[in-house]
């Protein structure tokens, strides 16, 4: 009955998200009407600076960047030495991805004798951004540091390693113990332009996740993963000209209780393509070797070593300008050295992201909330004689999540997260429930 109420509450929250996102619709309609009226005014007074400035401002608000650029460039025809106008034009061209045009206006704004120190400083900042965008070598990433709590501290280790492709045994003596932890996560991405006509680029990602428990230190976990490979567009003409493919190699390291748990390495292929004006699809397939390491706490861990094949399909749909849905499924076949550790797993799930206006008037930036749900089912090839020589191990996972992101500035976010995980299993040793929460600060660069 408890799980029924948890799921019912989750569905209620998800159902309320679209309604909350529609609350600011009236101001948007008013802005659109003001924008249309301002456009008519520019037809009557095409050389009036105040009219052009108002029209450009409203055009930005409704997302018509090209119209805003046109209005501001008309302003420069009236009076050429306007460093603030040139700065704004540089910013707008930057938003459009026209970096050389942005550079021209930004350099002119910075070099103007009439420019204020603030204008020159802002132009210099954007020029650095332009340089990073047009460089063949580009870095970006995300960093998260937070304080978390779990009603079952051991589920963090089991959940992370399961999510990243490994099934782990819940240790009975620490199961169901609540605890606080400090969580750190980071993803660093690098893109190197190969300077080819097919827009080829070498893309690499390095991911880190670590969780340090306050009391249940047996559940400390560290994960490192690296993936790299060239992304290209092999078809220049025809219906597949937007298809990109990326052969890749990958490696992974996991430590539990501050001891090496397993290494993994392999290769695969990712293919991505638009399936419509608002839909994108990605298919990934790869094979990987997992090499488990014995330790004093898990002396027979190497019996779990083996090979796996994985397929993942993901569809991303832009439902509206403020709402994005993702759905997907995955399949894993793992063949271990012993039959009792070999398994087949199917999973599917989805998420809904809604972006909405700041409801508290905190800083006027758009907030976002993401609701997610997923299920997975795994069946093992044979009973484990060390656990139960008669009962075949099967398990079903249910995961529900909510993430609220509140932007503090252009790169910093306040993040709140809540998750519920339930694993039911034919062997009670592997079954658990956990409710986890996290509050942290995220940084994008």
For residue range 203-218, what is the model confidence (pLDDT) as tens digits?
999 999 999 999 988 8
Which pLDDT score is estimated for 172? Answer: 36
Per-residue pLDDT at 396 exceeds 70? yes
Least confident of 10-19, 239-248, 259-268, 354-363: 10-19
Per-residue pLDDT at 18 exceeds 90? no
Residues 404 and 372 reside in one and the same domain = yes
Per-residue pLDDT at 303 exceeds 80? yes
Q: Is 121 inside a domain boundary?
A: yes
* Mean pLDDT of the chain, nearest integer: 85
**Other C-beta atoms within 10 Å of 389: how many?**
10
Q: Is 328 inside a domain boundary?
A: yes
Q: Is 9 inside a domain boundary?
A: no
Q: Is 8 inside a domain boundary?
A: no
Which of 74, 104, 134 is where one domain is finished? 134
Q: Is 149 inside a domain boundary?
A: yes
Which of 93, 113, 134 is where one domain is finished? 134
Which pLDDT score is estimated for 69? Answer: 92
Q: Taking the model in full, what pTM does it have?
A: 0.73
**Other C-beta atoms within 10 Å of 229: how many?**
19
Which pLDDT score is estimated for 398? Answer: 95
Q: How far apart are CA 236 and CA 244, in angstroms?
A: 11
Residues 154 and 213 reside in one and the same domain = yes
Which pLDDT score is estimated for 371? Answer: 97
- Which pLDDT band holds residue 17 (cuts at 50, 70, 90)? very low
Q: Which residue has the higher pLDDT, 30 or 149?
A: 149
Which of 76, 105, 134 is where one domain is finished? 134
Helices (H), 22-163: 25-44, 49-61, 65-78, 83-96, 99-111, 117-134, 154-163
Residues 155 and 130 reside in one and the same domain = no
State the CATH number of the domain containing residue 198: 2.40.160.40
State the CATH number of the domain containing residue 27: 1.25.40.10
Residues 53 and 196 reside in one and the same domain = no
Residues 93 and 106 reside in one and the same domain = yes
Residues 75 and 54 reside in one and the same domain = yes
**Cα→Cα distances 444→92, 184, 408, 412, 418, Å:** 21, 14, 12, 7, 21
Residues 416 and 301 reside in one and the same domain = yes
Q: Which residue has the higher pLDDT, 214 or 43?
A: 214
Per-residue pLDDT at 358 exceeds 50? yes
Burial of 403 (0-12, 13-18, 19+ CB in 10 A): middle
Domain with 150 in it: 137-444
The per-residue pLDDT for range 150-192, each reduced to its tens digit, is 998 876 544 443 333 333 333 333 457 899 999 999 999 999 9
Q: How far apart are CA 390 and CA 52, in angstroms?
A: 80
The per-residue pLDDT for range 95-105, each reduced to its tens digit, is 888 888 998 99
């Amino acid at each position: 009955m408890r799980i029924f109420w948890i799921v019912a509450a989750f569905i209620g929250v998800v159902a309320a998200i679209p309604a909350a996102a529609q609350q600011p619709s009236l101001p948007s309609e008013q802005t659109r009407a003001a924008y249309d009226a301002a456009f008519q005014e520019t037809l009557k007074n095409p050389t009036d600076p105040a009219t052009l400035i108002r029209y450009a401002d409203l055009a930005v608000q409704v997302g018509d960047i090209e119209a805003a650029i046109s209005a501001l460039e008309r302003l420069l025809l009236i009076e050429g030495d306007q460093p603030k106008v040139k700065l704004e034009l540089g910013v707008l061209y930057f938003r459009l991805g026209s970096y050389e045009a942005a550079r021209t206006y930004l350099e002119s704004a910075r070099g103007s004798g009439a420019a204020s120190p603030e204008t020159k400083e802002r132009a210099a900042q954007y020029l650095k951004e332009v340089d990073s965008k047009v460089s063949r070598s580009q870095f970006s990433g995300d960093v998260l540091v937070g304080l978390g709590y779990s009603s079952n501290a051991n589920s963090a280790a089991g959940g992370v390693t399961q999510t990243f492709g490994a099934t782990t045994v819940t240790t009975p003596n620490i199961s169901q113990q609540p605890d606080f932890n400090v969580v750190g996560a980071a993803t660093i991405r690098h893109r190197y332009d190969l300077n080819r006509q097919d827009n080829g680029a070498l893309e690499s990602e390095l991911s880190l996740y670590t969780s340090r428990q306050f009391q249940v230190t047996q559940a400390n976990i560290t994960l490192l993963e690296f993936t790299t490979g060239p992304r290209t567009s092999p078809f220049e003409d025809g219906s597949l000209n937007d298809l990109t493919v990326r052969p890749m190699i990958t490696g992974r390291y996991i430590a539990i209780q501050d001891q090496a748990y397993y290494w993994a390495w392999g290769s695969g292929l990712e293919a991505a393509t638009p399936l419509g004006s608002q839909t994108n699809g990605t298919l990934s397939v790869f094979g990987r070797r997992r090499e488990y390491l014995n330790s004093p706490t898990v002396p027979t861990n190497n019996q779990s070593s083996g090979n796996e094949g994985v397929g993942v399909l993901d569809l991303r749909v832009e439902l509206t300008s403020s709402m994005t849905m993702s759905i997907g499924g995955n399949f894993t076949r793992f063949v271990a050295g012993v039959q009792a550790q070999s398994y087949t797993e199917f999973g599917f799930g989805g998420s809904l992201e809604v972006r909405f206006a700041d409801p508290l008037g905190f800083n006027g930036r758009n907030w976002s909330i993401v609701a997610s749900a997923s299920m997975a089912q795994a069946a093992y090839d044979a009973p484990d004689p060390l656990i139960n020589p008669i009962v075949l191990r099967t398990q079903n996972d249910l995961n529900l999540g909510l993430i609220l992101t509140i932007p503090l500035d252009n790169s910093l976010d306040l993040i709140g997260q809540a998750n519920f995980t339930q694993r039911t299993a034919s062997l009670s040793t592997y079954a658990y429930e956990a409710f986890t929460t996290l509050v942290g600060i995220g940084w994008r660069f």
